[in-house]
Amino acid sequence: MGTCDCLSGKGGRYCKHVCAVELKFGITITTSLNLTEDCRQDLAKLALGDEYNPYFFQNITLDSNDVETAEKSQGNSQQQFTLPINEPDNTENNISTESSIQENYMITVDAIESEFIRIIKVLKEEPNPVNTQILKKYSSELSRLQTPSSIVSYMHDKKIRRSRKIKVQPTSISRRHQKQLPSSGRIQSGRPVKKKRAHNIAVNIDQNEHSAK
């Protein structure tokens, strides 16, 4: 009969122990599950529904008639996903956009080239030996730029400062004195110090103020 006394095999159910006996001794028990091609197709219908394809479960080597039938079935299923022929094609628009971007890039590069030529011309027309050291340093920095990314990064680092003012916190400006200080005068940081009262009791009494701390 081929039954098992485990929890799953009680009452003649097929369990893993019966399967192990079949594999070890090479026998087939009457209670074992023998799935045929029809059983697999029925299970596939339950699992896949409308997406079920019966030709998926056939043998790999098919006859010529079966091959033609399978190709027709695949062709009918692929027609559902085909795009209409009269759908507008955006290939030309994409090509024109890419060409305009490339053209704008080349125009910008040509403008930078003309500015470099102008700068070199000015340096040659008005030579100044005092600037030789800084020009050498600038030349050595440019020689290290080998890729477009390094060039753009260098330009970002050397960008022109938008203003000549030093960036400070808004509160530090409000705490400064309104009077004009000389160029060598030091601007005190933090909250301004209050003027201390004199150590004179008579004056403080006359001004109706507290005595000095």
Whether residue 130 is predicted with pLDDT greater than 60 in this model: the reply is yes
Q: Rounded to an integer, what distance in angstroms lies between the CA atom of residue 159 and that of residue 161?
A: 6
Query: Counting beta carbons within 10 angstroms of the beta carbon of residue 52, is it exposed (0 to 12), middle (13 to 18) or buried (19 or more)?
Result: middle
- Given a contact cutoff of 8 angstroms between Cβ atoms, the answer to whether 190 and 168 are in contact is no
pTM above 0.85, yes or no: no
Cβ-based neighbour number of residue 201 at 10 Å: 10
pLDDT of 16-61, one tens digit each?
888 888 888 888 777 677 767 677 778 788 888 878 787 776 666 6
- Given a contact cutoff of 8 angstroms between Cβ atoms, the answer to whether 6 and 17 are in contact is yes
So what's the pLDDT on residue 170?
Answer: 57
Mean pLDDT of the chain: 73
Whether residue 88 is predicted with pLDDT greater than 60 in this model: the reply is no
Q: What are the structural domain ranges in the chain?
A: 1-34, 35-81, 97-144
- Given a contact cutoff of 8 angstroms between Cβ atoms, the answer to whether 162 and 169 are in contact is no
Rank 8-12, 122-126, 175-179 by mean pLDDT and report only the highest. Answer: 122-126
Biggest alpha carbon–alpha carbon distance for the chain: 126
**Of the listed ranges 67-71, 76-80, 89-93, 104-108, the one predicted with least confidence:** 76-80
* Token digits of residue 86: 């009269």
Residue percentage of the chain with pLDDT more than 90: 2
Q: Rounded to an integer, what distance in angstroms lies between the CA atom of residue 78 and that of residue 97?
A: 33
Model confidence at 173, pLDDT cuts 50, 70, 90, reads low
Whether residue 77 is predicted with pLDDT greater than 70 in this model: the reply is no
Rank 97-106, 111-120, 163-172 by mean pLDDT and report only the highest. Answer: 111-120
Q: Rounded to an integer, what distance in angstroms lies between the CA atom of residue 140 and that of residue 154?
A: 13
Model confidence at 128, pLDDT cuts 50, 70, 90, reads confident
Tokens 């004179």 identify what position? 200
